[in-house]
Amino acid sequence: MATANILLVDDEIPFVETVTKRLLKRGMHSLSAGSGEEALARLEEDTNIEIVILDVKMPGVDGLETLAEIKRIAPLVEVIILTGHASVESAIKGMRLGAFDYLVKPCSVEELISKIEEATSSKRTNRKESG
């Protein structure tokens, strides 16, 4: 499978830097955004983004609001929620809003890579069916 076009959205810069390095070691490149607003701007600028890895708790527009807006402007983009502030309520709401999956920090890089690969496959299948 070709490498996915990933957008990593989290306000914790050290976390973003660490995940970016780990993805790069596995041949995956990612863009980053430090807020929901920045993520939405990136999505409008770069229509090649396929996967968004999204934190829930961020200042300003939170992850669930960002997810709803992503699904409005780019419905075929797959969103993986990755949060350290997990709750049953946010997981249910995230899945209802269209998240591909919901992971809790810390999760292993292998688990994240596996979810990215699954989401990429789903995204590309959906694109073929809709195109």
Structure tokens that stand for 53 in this block: 């890895």
Please tell us whether the domain made up of 6-130 is placed in CATH 3.40.50.2300: yes
Determine the pLDDT at residue 129: 66
Residue 1 has pLDDT above 60, yes or no: no
86, 103 Cβ separation under 8 angstroms: no
- pLDDT > 90 in the chain, percent: 65
Tokens 């957008």 appear where?
Answer: 7
Determine the pLDDT at residue 106: 86
Determine the pLDDT at residue 53: 96
Q: What is the pLDDT of residues 24-38, one digit of tens each?
A: 888 888 999 999 999
Q: What is the pLDDT of residues 90-110, one digit of tens each?
A: 889 999 999 999 999 888 989
Determine the pLDDT at residue 36: 95
Residue 131 has pLDDT above 60, yes or no: no
| 55: confidence class by pLDDT, cuts 50, 70, 90 | very high
80, 99 Cβ separation under 8 angstroms: yes
Question: What are the domain boundaries of the chain?
Answer: 6-130
Determine the pLDDT at residue 99: 96
CA 49-50-56 angle, 5° bins: 90
Determine the pLDDT at residue 125: 83
Determine the pLDDT at residue 130: 62
Structure tokens that stand for 50 in this block: 């396929």
